[in-house]
């Protein structure tokens, strides 16, 4: 498509692309479209990626399935009730990771300023690529062509003068679209949107805003910031700034992890301390291995519990120094679990994560005076080496050998 056609195709007029050098690229229904490469006969049909049994959740849904109301993270039981004719495909996470690497490699061939947000989306600063590859719209079209031709999937591209607006643009043009929001027309565009289009406006925040008579971004922009802060705290100021299109954050190529964790949804709700502590041990080993793999330590242990009525609580404990051993994480998590006392309801989900992450070497590791703690970490490091060489961890605590794996959802960094 020629430059003039690209500039006219969205609003029927020539677009001003000045300073629109931030791009948000998001794959469309990533897990599903990757699977459809091997199952082309399912194109155009409702497809769900996830495990069909137990309490698993939807990992990804095709746009045909979404028409029935199916959404990611929805319980699979509910999804199949809404779309009983949907085809369910078991996930292949290793394949998705490989395709994700290819996606990010493609982005880095466009510009070296790439900020990944997840396995299938990223911000790109294309200011340095304009002279080499053309206008922002031409670069966006190039990205979409290459994703389709080289990876066999589709992507939606949002282009704007800021990260926030670029993300909104990619969301509003899905699936398989491209939208450029001109810098001088940003406020005009935003104020025509419903308030839930803003980052941070979830169900509870939306309810609070609606009580104030705020239903659109324009409504929010016209509300005194003091009133927003009184109702929403510091988040009120953030939303006010976003309603006027103010987002000075640059695209940051290397993103610092804020937390690393893992969680498990049980096949059957449980009151059992034995089941909960055994699962904490498994999760502690997962988290510790991820920390060591990223050369990070964590100084804050966070325990997450979701009860059978879906009420969720979190408890945390700060350490004097960073840790990356399963033993230390497990001990801290179990201590937090004990502090909760008698549980009011059975437990549906349990999770552990480490926060206040630091690079190994920036601070001393916390070790116990008990020699067994050091020996335990050494065994974990040896297990890491075995896993790296043979592709799977072959060393696990004896307590977990007789335990059958739970079918559920696992958290990621």
* Sign of the torsion formed by the C-alpha atoms of 22, 28, 34 and 36: negative
Residues in the chain, how many? 413
Going from the C-alpha of 166 to that of each of 6, 25, 276, 365, 379, the distances in angstroms are: 17, 9, 43, 40, 46
> No. of H helices and E strands in the chain?
17, 12
User: Which residues are registered as beta bridge partners of 305?
Assistant: 313, 350
Neighbouring CB atoms inside 10 A of 182's CB total 20
- 52, 81 Cβ separation under 8 angstroms: no
- Residue 19 marked as a ligand binder: no
8 A C-beta contact, residue 247 and residue 163? yes
Active-site hit among 35, 115, 121, 182: 121
Q: How far apart are the first and last CA of the chain?
A: 39
188 classed as catalytic = no
Nearest to 299 by CA among 329, 335, 255: 329
Question: In this structure, what are the phi and psi dihedrals at residue 232, rounded to the nearest 5 degrees?
Answer: -115, 0
Q: Is 192 exposed, middle or buried (0-12, 13-18, 19+ CB in 10 A)?
A: exposed
Other residues' Cβ atoms within 10 Å of the Cβ of residue 404: 6
Distance in angstroms (rounded) separating the CA atoms of residues 361 and 363: 5
Q: Please check if 370 is assigned to a binding site.
A: no
State the helix-helix crossing angle for 203-211 and 225-232, rounded to 10 degrees. Answer: 130
Instruction: Tell how far CA 96 is from the center of its chain.
Output: 14
Give the residue ranges of DSSP H helices in 246-370. 273-293, 326-340
Residue numbers in the known binding site are 26, 120
Which active-site residues does the annotation give?
A: 121
Residue numbers in the known binding site for Mg(2+) are 26, 120
């Amino acid at each position: 498509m020629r430059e003039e056609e690209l500039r006219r195709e969205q609003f029927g007029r020539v677009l001003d692309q000045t300073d629109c050098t931030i791009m948000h690229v998001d794959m469309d229904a990533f897990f599903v479209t990757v699977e459809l490469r091997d199952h082309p006969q399912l194109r155009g049909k409702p497809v769900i990626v996830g495990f069909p049994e137990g309490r698993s959740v939807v990992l990804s849904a095709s746009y045909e399935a979404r028409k029935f109301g199916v959404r990611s993270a929805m319980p699979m039981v509910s999804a199949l009730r809404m779309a009983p004719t949907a085809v369910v495909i078991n996930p292949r996470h290793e394949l998705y990771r490989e395709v994700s690497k290819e996606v990010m490699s493609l982005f880095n061939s466009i510009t070296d300023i790439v900020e990944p947000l997840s396995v299938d989306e990223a911000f790109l600063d294309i200011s340095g690529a304009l002279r080499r590859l053309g206008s922002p719209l031409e670069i966006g079209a190039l990205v979409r062509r290459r994703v389709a031709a080289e990876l066999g999937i589709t992507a939606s591209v949002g282009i704007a003068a800021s990260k926030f607006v670029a993300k909104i643009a990619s969301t509003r043009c899905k699936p398989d679209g491209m939208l450029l929001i001109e810098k001088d027309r940003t406020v005009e565009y935003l104020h025509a949107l419903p308030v839930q289009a803003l980052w941070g406006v979830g169900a509870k925040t939306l309810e609070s805003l609606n009580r104030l008579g705020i239903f659109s971004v324009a409504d929010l922009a016209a509300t005194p910031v003091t009133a927003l802060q009184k109702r929403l705290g510091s988040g009120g100021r953030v939303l006010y700034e976003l309603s006027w299109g103010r987002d000075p954050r640059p695209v940051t190529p290397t993103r610092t992890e804020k937390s690393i964790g893992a969680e498990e949804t049980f096949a059957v709700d449980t009151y059992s301390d034995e089941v909960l502590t055994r699962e904490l041990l498994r999760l502690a080993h997962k988290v510790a291995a991820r920390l060591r793999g990223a050369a990070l330590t964590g100084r804050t242990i966070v325990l997450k519990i979701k009860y059978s009525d879906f009420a969720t609580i979190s408890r945390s404990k700060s350490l004097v120094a960073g840790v990356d051993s399963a033993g230390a994480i497990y001990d801290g998590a179990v201590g937090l679990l004990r502090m909760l006392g008698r549980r009011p309801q059975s437990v549906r989900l349990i999770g552990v994560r480490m926060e206040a992450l630091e690079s190994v070497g920036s601070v001393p590791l916390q070790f116990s005076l008990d020699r067994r703690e050091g020996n335990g970490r050494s065994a974990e490091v040896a297990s890491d080496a075995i896993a790296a060489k043979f592709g799977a961890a072959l060393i696990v605590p004896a307590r977990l050998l007789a335990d059958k794996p739970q079918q559920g959802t696992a958290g990621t960094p």
